[in-house]
Amino acid sequence: MHKINPFYKLVTVFVLAVSLTFTSSATLNIATFLLCVLLLITGSRKILSALKFCVPMLFIATGLYLSGTNIGGNQQSGLFLATRVVAFMGLGMLFSLTTDSYAFMRSLQKDAKIPRKFAYGILCAFHLVPYIKNEYHNARLALSVRGVRLRIFSIKPLFSVLVNSIRWSEMLSMAMQSKGFDEE
């Protein structure tokens, strides 16, 4: 899976996702997920990452199953909703765990004719995600040290994350200009 051109892999996953959107077969959804898992097992060494990715999605699928069964009135609609989430999870997991971000950006530049400036910006955004996650954790920790009680979905730590994200984007913009990615 790693040797396949990332752009063509993206197009294939996108076409499969769109075609799954217009079908209503739980069997096809399960088959798609199992095929993705099979391809992931044979083509990647990130099985542990896949399991970490599956746990929250299985909670979501279970919630959709229970909701569809209770609200929809029949077990079939709940099963369809749950398997649809699992199928999309498999497609996303297959693409993300078997694609290198640098190779993906090079492929987008070469095959999709995306400008270098745009590809560099996307790559910078990919690499900022761990910093944003760390900043959010630090902001929650700082607030809890001060004695501020935070709920699960509290927005107080997001202010610090937003301020630092703006600062990081300005620094990245200056770095891009210094590397010759000027406005054309």
How confident is the model at residue 13, as a pLDDT?
A: 92
Structure-token pair, residue 124: 């910078």
How confident is the model at residue 131, as a pLDDT?
A: 86
How confident is the model at residue 87, as a pLDDT?
A: 93
pTM for this prediction: 0.73
Q: What is the rounded distance in angstroms from the CA atom of residue 98 to the CA atom of residue 65?
A: 29
Residue with tokens 């765990």: 97
How confident is the model at residue 148, as a pLDDT?
A: 84
How confident is the model at residue 182, as a pLDDT?
A: 64
- Taking only the tens place, the pLDDT of each residue in 96-122 is 888 888 888 888 889 988 888 788 778
Q: Are the CB atoms for 56 and 92 separated by under 8 Å?
A: no
How confident is the model at residue 44, as a pLDDT?
A: 65
Positions of the chain with pLDDT lower than 50, given as ranges? none
